[in-house]
Amino acid sequence: MDKSIKKVVLLGSGALKIGEAGEFDYSGSQALKALREEGIRTILINPNIATVQTSEEIADRIYFVPIMPWFVEQVIAREKPDGILLSFGGQTALNCGIEIHRDGILEKYHVRVLGTPVQAIMDTEDRELFIEKLNEIEIKTPRSVAVTNVSDALKAAATLGYPVIIRSAYTLGGQGSAFCSEQEELEIQASKAFSYTDQILVEESLKGWKEVEYEVVRDAFDNCITVCNMENFDPLGIHTGESIVVAPSQTLTNSEYHKLRELSIRVIRHIGIVGECNIQYALDPESEDYRVIEVNARLSRSSALASKATGYPLAFIAAKLALGYGLPELKNAVTKTTSAFFEPALDYIVCKIPRWDLNKFEGVSHLIGSSMKSVGEVMSIGRTFEEAIQKGLRMIGQGMHGFVGNRGLTFEPVEKELAEPTDMRIFVIADALEKGFPVDEIHNLTRIDKWFLYKLRNIVALKNTLSSFGSLSGLSDQTLLEAKILGFSDFQIARFVLKSPVNRIADDLIRIRNHRKKKGIVPFVKQIDTLAAEYPAQTNYLYLTYSATEHDISFNKKRNSVIILGSGAYRIGSSVEFDWCSVNALQTVKNKGFQTIMINYNPETVSTDYDISDRLYFDELSLERVLDIYELENPEGVIVSMGGQIPNNLAVRLRENGADIMGTSPDSIDHAENRHKFSSMLDRLGIDQPRWRELTNIEDIHEFVDDIGFPVLIRPSYVLSGAAMNVVSNREELGHFLKLAAEVSKQYPVVVSEFIQEAKEIEIDAVAGKGEMVAYAISEHVEFAGVHSGDATMVFPPQKIYFETIRRIKRIARQIAAELNISGPFNIQFLAKDNNVKVIECNLRASRSMPFVSKVLKVNLIHLATRILLGENVEPLNKSIFDLDYVGVKAPQFSFSRLQQTDPILGVDMSSTGEVGCIGDDFYEGILKSMLSVGYHIPEKAILLSTGPVRSKVELINSARALLDKGYRLYATRGTKKFYDHHNIPTTLAYWPDEKKRPNTLDLVKNGTVDLVVNIPKNLTKNELDNDYMIRRNAVDFNIPLITNARLASAFILAFCQIKRNDIQVKAWDEYK
């Protein structure tokens, strides 16, 4: 190891976004641990405040600033590090690293890039260089032509022949790559891509080839290993982030496996990577012909998955290699006796399944293809493919019970659905198999290898066998065991054998459970030990399977352990923040002398890292599986309040089945979750709430709306598409919306609530012990109520609310804590208008904003809450928000650019995929840093204003004046121009998209004439394709920053007009005292 390295800067990946998510929290955390172990001082730059890596326990110093060259330079100038790590923060860190290298910043401050040299990174990132490099060693890449303009792209495609795929350099998650089957399509896609990049590649299409990936490691002494290979269930053409993936490969012969492995090692050597890289191949399904599709010279989503799939800590080892260690010098972290220079042997199969949330977006295409749209993923482990895939499909958490047994999933025409894959593809295959489609036909339409389809057919066949029984007594033990080996849950078995109706299934699945326990049909616990049992290992990395006859571990029944339920798949609304909560709870439980047991199945998390808990069960967060583990481990209790809504929802049923829930009682949880119970409790306590009704017919809805007046928030329980929840402003919209709600009945009621306009939204995050509030943090939203709290910009401590409001909020929170006898974390959301405070929601669990307020307040609310869960008495805390001389601002990150066609507008349903939290000396500095962190730029030229309703126009008067003073040119659409003319604010008229006149709004955006677009929707309803939509979508597609909320626009504009970039303070977290 190189002893001259004493201080290292690590670049994180910023906010979670599609294509760059929690995996980089995991990778970065591991790297930081690896450095800290060597006594190296670590400096982390990452504005993602909800991550585990941005904790004192992980990094020595943390900067919550944007990962942009200017900010990174400031940090380097202050810290004077010896080295920098660029490969642990995804594409964001890599791109920034390349820029600071090119700008000579690294040279200027004598900072060495540790690990893979920058030149090697550039060789892999620039397609042309990359292909040239691989040609040097005669390794095949797809035939392609690099072009710098649209007309050359068309020429290239004509030579290669359609279909072609276009790719742009420096992308994350395949953004800017697209299949084009004809010229017109190519023209559109190419011009879009050129808005992100100067160069694109037009390539031969290898649609239908197998897609296989290798994770390759190399040390500075040229020793190489491939830690894992993975095979995509979906053939090439579907982005690996959108595909079901298995590890290890299942349909490759030894010859194919090792041919690609050998090529991987040749590639990593030739490029000169020191550390880790990922290589993606296309493999001809009819021969051993191949192409190298891509090399990622950094830790990636796949490397995080490979680490979890094998137990080999890739990021940890890559960090050690960057310090100059040789692989043979390092130990296998799992066995602790054997060497890190080895290739894991698995004795199980893992299955990764993406999680999409496309229903959250209006107008988005559900087709999946070469760009990534999924927001999270799960990994399931089993000893049969059937077991792994069924587990995984349940883990996705969208109400599925496995591959079969899901209601209402039929597709017509199946052939079309098979040939044009959507996010429902796997269930389309289930439907086709159930309809009797032969495997050959499904294969022809999907190009999915028949081996996978045969296995899936086994599941359908067993379902049919189970369905042929009428009762439990007729079911043979052999068939029951077979079902469990093929991954059937007790729920599925109840549904098929007992034909349980919805209202009885909860009891029936327990009947199945008791029946099979009596018969001795129970799962066994197996270890993931990296060597397939060849060497003894003290590994705590576990999963359950029915393909087994004994446990790998023993259980002590002393009740000195605590089970913590994790968050499951990241999704819109539940993400890395709950992993931070889970990890912090684990730390506290461990410190208090308990054995910690974690259950989670998200490969992107830190909570599923091998050294975080005493035992990690990488398995389902279902009632069945948690009870399986509970009964084996006999713990002190289960913590359900740290992992978000999934564990929270299990509380009542776990308790009913004999599990001890730590902290707030499941009854109280139910009181907060159940709208009726909660509402009557508020009435009883005299706490105000927006008026609402649950209604079962159209007439009642109209009558209630007449009573409370428009606008109203309406939430149907059954909808045809999208539109799960919406605000309607008039009778016409209401009628239209009720039409979308497929059914209004006793079984599918509609909830209608009063919608208060121009109300502030305020949240309290708090901890209570035995009903007494011991710590709290109050924050306010920049946007008025109506924007989902997860999409809102949050300010803590609050800067613009009345003392009286704060007092009332505290009082209400105390009342609720006492009434529900809360012991643990909780969060309440309020509306406030003129000191009238109404409660809108209450969750008796850790909330999204817990890490943000904990880190800004510098009081770890989760540590406090966990101590209470363990039964400790915690003294009320006296730290007040008035003690803070700085302001934290949390801003959402949107991924609209990946979700083609969707309207990038905010509403009552959440659509952001991540967030950042930055600290400023005042509100404007905080908001500027956080907006820059989520991808906004300070404009340099001109702003396009289209400011919607009069209210918003007024709101933005000061901002418009400030912009003019700063010398910006303002373009405005007709109504907006008229309004500002009236206020003596000169603007240039920009014509609407459907007017064929210039300057047209579309051109201004497309040509980059404007570098900020403010487009405020006219009303609260998500609209059809109209002019405003065109402007918004165009801004997103051409990568021009867009703001759609007047209050946020005003805050951002005033911030960058007041503060010069060079005046922004770059300070570490610990410097805010």
265 counts as binding another protein under rule CB under 8 A? yes
- Residue of 258, 519, 731, 998 that binds another protein (CB under 8 A): 258
- Beta bridge partner(s), residue 462: none
Q: How far is the CB of 910 from another protein (least distance, A)?
A: 40
Per-residue three-class SS string for 755-786: CCCCCEEEEEEEEEECCEEEEEEEEEEEEECC
347 counts as binding another protein under rule CB under 8 A? yes
CB closer to another protein out of 346 and 842: 346
DSSP state of 657: T
Q: How far is the CB of 78 from another protein (least distance, A)?
A: 38
467 counts as binding another protein under rule CB under 8 A? no
DSSP state of 331: B
Amino acid found at 564: I
Contact track, another protein, 306-335, x by CB under 8 A: --------------------xxx-------
Q: How far is the CB of 533 from another protein (least distance, A)?
A: 4
What length does the chain have?
A: 1073
Q: Mapping DSSP to helix (H, G, I), strand (E, B) and coil, where does residue 933 land?
A: helix
**Helices 425-434, 439-446: crossing angle, 10 deg rounding:** 150
Q: Scan for tokens 């880190």, then name that residue.
A: 855
Amino acid found at 301: R
531 counts as binding another protein under rule CB under 8 A? yes
Q: How far is the CB of 464 from another protein (least distance, A)?
A: 9
Nearest to 932 by CA among 944, 918, 921, 942: 918
CB closer to another protein out of 359 and 547: 547
The one segment of 534-542, 617-625, 663-671, 793-801 that binds another protein by CB under 8 A: 534-542
Structure tokens at 159: 């030579």
Please classify residue 904 by burial: count the beta carbons closer than 10 Å to its beta carbon, then call 0-12 exposed, 13-18 middle and 19+ buried. buried
CB closer to another protein out of 264 and 668: 264
Sheet hosting strand 1012-1015, strand order edge to edge? 988-989, 969-972, 942-946, 1012-1015, 1042-1043
Please classify residue 1000 by burial: count the beta carbons closer than 10 Å to its beta carbon, then call 0-12 exposed, 13-18 middle and 19+ buried. middle
- Residue of 39, 184, 254, 436 that binds another protein (CB under 8 A): 254
Could you tell me the CA-to-CA distances from 865 to 305, 778, 878 in Å, in that order?
31, 17, 16
- The answer to whether 647 touches 640, Cβ cutoff 8 Å, is yes
CB closer to another protein out of 99 and 482: 482
Q: How far is the CB of 487 from another protein (least distance, A)?
A: 12
**Residue 582 contacts by C-beta under 8 Å, 6 or more apart in sequence?**
564, 566, 567, 598, 600, 605, 607, 642, 643
Nearest to 76 by CA among 1068, 1069, 1064: 1068
Q: How far is the CB of 291 from another protein (least distance, A)?
A: 17
The one segment of 78-86, 461-469, 634-642, 696-704 that binds another protein by CB under 8 A: 461-469
Chain residues 371-410 in contact with another protein, contact rule CB under 8 A: 383-385
The one segment of 252-260, 595-603, 1022-1030, 1065-1073 that binds another protein by CB under 8 A: 252-260
Structure tokens at 857: 């307040």
449 counts as binding another protein under rule CB under 8 A? yes
- Residue of 165, 178, 252, 1042 that binds another protein (CB under 8 A): 252
Q: How far is the CB of 537 from another protein (least distance, A)?
A: 11
- Residue of 223, 556, 835, 988 that binds another protein (CB under 8 A): 223
- The answer to whether 137 touches 266, Cβ cutoff 8 Å, is yes
Q: How far is the CB of 136 from another protein (least distance, A)?
A: 20
CB closer to another protein out of 219 and 357: 219
Q: Mapping DSSP to helix (H, G, I), strand (E, B) and coil, where does residue 1027 land?
A: helix
139 counts as binding another protein under rule CB under 8 A? no
CB closer to another protein out of 215 and 577: 215
The one segment of 180-188, 220-228, 663-671, 928-936 that binds another protein by CB under 8 A: 220-228
Q: How far is the CB of 436 from another protein (least distance, A)?
A: 13
940 counts as binding another protein under rule CB under 8 A? no
CB closer to another protein out of 434 and 552: 552
CB closer to another protein out of 534 and 872: 534
- Residue of 457, 516, 571, 855 that binds another protein (CB under 8 A): 457
The one segment of 248-256, 271-279, 1005-1013, 1050-1058 that binds another protein by CB under 8 A: 248-256
- Beta bridge partner(s), residue 751: 694, 715
Determine how β-strand 750-754 pairs with β-strand 760-769.
unpaired
Cα 808 vs. chain centroid, distance in angstroms? 35
- Beta bridge partner(s), residue 217: 225, 276
What is the total count of residues that contact another protein (CB under 8 A)?
A: 67
Nearest to 916 by CA among 880, 894, 890, 898: 890
Cα angle value 70/76/80 (rounded, 5°): 160
Contact track, another protein, 474-493, x by CB under 8 A: --x-xx--x---x-------
The one segment of 40-48, 280-288, 785-793, 893-901 that binds another protein by CB under 8 A: 280-288
Q: How far is the CB of 442 from another protein (least distance, A)?
A: 12
- Residue of 37, 102, 108, 454 that binds another protein (CB under 8 A): 454
CB atoms within 10 A of CB 1061: 11
- Residue of 136, 184, 286, 412 that binds another protein (CB under 8 A): 286
CB atoms within 10 A of CB 998: 10
1008 counts as binding another protein under rule CB under 8 A? no
- Alpha-carbon distance 686 to 952, whole Å? 34
- Residue of 415, 420, 552, 921 that binds another protein (CB under 8 A): 552
Q: What DSSP assignment string belongs to 977-1017? A: HHHHHHTT---EE-B-TTS--SSBHHHHHHTTS-SEEEE--
Determine how β-strand 794-796 pairs with β-strand 824-833.
unpaired
Q: How far is the CB of 524 from another protein (least distance, A)?
A: 8
462 counts as binding another protein under rule CB under 8 A? yes
The one segment of 193-201, 533-541, 560-568, 774-782 that binds another protein by CB under 8 A: 533-541
CB closer to another protein out of 465 and 679: 465
- Alpha-carbon distance 404 to 427, whole Å? 8
Chain residues 727-786 in contact with another protein, contact rule CB under 8 A: none
262 counts as binding another protein under rule CB under 8 A? yes
- The answer to whether 929 touches 1064, Cβ cutoff 8 Å, is yes
Amino acid found at 688: D
- Beta bridge partner(s), residue 762: 780, 830
144 counts as binding another protein under rule CB under 8 A? no
255 counts as binding another protein under rule CB under 8 A? yes
The one segment of 34-42, 549-557, 687-695, 881-889 that binds another protein by CB under 8 A: 549-557
Q: How far is the CB of 682 from another protein (least distance, A)?
A: 54
Sign, Cα dihedral of 497, 501, 502, 508: negative
Half-sphere exposure of 611 (CA within 13 A, CB side): 14
Q: Scan for tokens 């089970």, then name that residue.
A: 563
Contact track, another protein, 508-527, x by CB under 8 A: ----------------x-x-
Nearest to 314 by CA among 233, 385, 213, 389: 213
CB closer to another protein out of 186 and 442: 442
- Residue of 41, 78, 112, 450 that binds another protein (CB under 8 A): 450
Q: Which residues of the shown chain bind another protein in the complex (CB under 8 A)? A: 221-225, 248-255, 257-258, 261-262, 265, 285-287, 326-328, 337-339, 341-349, 383-385, 449-451, 454-455, 457-458, 461-462, 465, 476, 478-479, 482, 486, 524, 526, 531-536, 547-550, 552
